[in-house]
Chain A
Amino acid sequence: MDKDHIRNFCIIAHIDHGKSTLADRLMDVTGTVSEREAKDQLLDNMDIERERGITIKLQPVRMFYQLDGEEYMLNLIDTPGHVDFTYEVSRSLAACEGAVLVVDATQGVEAQTLTNVYLAIDNDLEVIPVINKVDLSGADVEGTRKEIEDIIGIAAKDAPAISAKTGLNVEAVLESIIYNLPAPKGDDHAPLKALIFDSVYDNYKGAISFIRVMDGSVKVGDRIKMFSTGKVFDVTEVGVFTPKMVPVKELSAGEVGYLAASIKNVSDTAVGDTITFAEGGTKEPFPGYKAVKPVVFAGIFPADGSKYTELREALEKLKLNDASLFFEPDVSAALGFGFRCGFLGLLHMEIIEERLEREFNIDLVTTAPSVSYKVYKYGGEVLNVDNPSHLPSPSEIDYMEEPIVRATLFTPPEYVGPIMELCQGKRGIFLDMSYVDTSRAKITYDIPLAEIVYDFFDDLKSRTRGYASMDYEIIGFHKSELVKLDIMLNGEVCDALSLIVHKDDAYGRGRGIAEKLKEVIPRQMFEIPIQACVGGKVIARETVKAMRKDVLAKCYGGDITRKKKLLEKQKEGKKRMRQVGSVSLPSEAFMSILKR
């Protein structure tokens, strides 16, 4: 198909405004089989993603539509919508020329509407608004048009008013896509330059890259290389998404599809990387590639020590499809054998943890997430420490550095105050504030990554009713007055509860953690003193009183079997707790130390 008749686009929307429904309807109207009808295993992940409030990611799909006697190829590419995955989002957007913006006529422009639109605009996409759910009684079409024009600043006079649910006027969306979105550009005769915007692992075909061909073309048998690593592969299959993957002879400039080349490792199909020919390939890669590096680390341990092997296998399986998941074996005195894992961010970590628990059925105990610090020892040695319990003793440490991010926050002007308060409270250093337009302020802060890693994003969203968005980038390591906060239970340090904190925060955090632990640790047969210490000095303490009574129940002839079962349950319950010396800790204890 010639490029003039191709349109590459994505659909963006606030959650529940109708993105998936519209996608389904577009596929219906164009006669493409709906992906959801072909029950896919990906739906499981989608439950988790849905619960987190991020948009469900669909596989790309190629549709055909006839308009004015001409046939057009419409490629729909989807994007995940969370700041942890901003990089992935930007690469998916880079594969498109335009975005269809769906706004619910009963809700109007909402938080994610904005953040997604800004992302699209920042990536030079043409945005065409669509007003949805006009069939509902609360629909205010004209009001919504006005909001789009005033708040977002794009023309909405001719935006199609549709109902994705009933199919009303959905053809107008297709027409708008064809008329208003630019056709892809690209040189058919230049050497191959293809952008990888996603990848998936297949047991038979190996790692499969989802690509947008920018220049040139690719077919089976071509010898290709990955720009970032220089690794060379032979193409075994190219194809398109119907949405099922279907092989084709060749993919050319402007097209979207997939490529398989017996690639064993999904890290060789890095998102954002450029694919070109091994010989005589393009000189310049597609801009914007970033090597994926973990930013948040946590210890993941099986609640039941005997499931260690299962956990390892599960992580290996997950890594097949997730090049940004890192892990290596780890040992904790409190939690036994497990893994130290690296993630792109907190959401990434939570998704992995949930998948391990739900899909692989492994009960986990996880430590609080931490970042990686640079430790400069006396004598010149420099260590990278991402596990607080691996920190050398204070007497050996000359100074420490922590990673700092440059956070760029976009917000409606009325939330500037709360945001600045939030950032100051996280040891942020104010850099700049400006107005992008009347509806958007841009604030820049340098903030320690450790302060962002736990609940900064959620806090930001709640202070700004979801309207603010954030982008951040690690800009380097800065020297900081950091100390190790230890928690002792019954006089013994529990290594899995240790944290690295800023010296000014130590007292507050220590006290907060001791109080939280007192709530979370169930009464046991002995009294349990909880002590928070820094450098051997106790800075806060609480006590869990000894249990005074368990159950005073009958135990007569007919009760014996039931009584035994109860005792078994009690023992099972205890087994699910972690023994730290003589104290039984429920798994919630480890994450609870983070809540302030």
Chain B
Amino acid sequence: MTERINPEITEKIVHALASYLKRDPASITEAHHLRDDLGLDSVAVIELLFEIEERFKLQIPDQDLPGLSTVGSVAAYVQRRLAEPQGSSKPALPKSKTPSTKSGSKKSTSSRSTSAKSSSTKPASTKLKSGSAKKPKTMSKPAAKTKKKVTAR
């Protein structure tokens, strides 16, 4: 976790978080834990990653979720993914392939804000349980054996 992270990447992630949480970007640091410090529950983390996928033109496989527990680990992950040669993992697909998303993709981003509001007021009540205990080094390998602890019912 000591690799040097491009500050632009961190800044973009912090800004995504700040707008999601409606708080001052300056109050968010790399060391912040998404759940324990920033109060994101597992669905809120998924919403954040949804936003990050869009901003960095990435696709994040389900298997990579467990390692993404702090702002810094998300930034390191994004950096690693951006450095990958095209096609080594799932590259971001062109978004406009399907007829139904053409007009929908922008709208869906803004409509997240309602749920973002409610999750920001909630205490960190849910978990990425085993995920947070895992070391982030396995993150970029989709074959990581960690479980995703996400939506449930």
Q: Do A and B come from one complex?
A: no
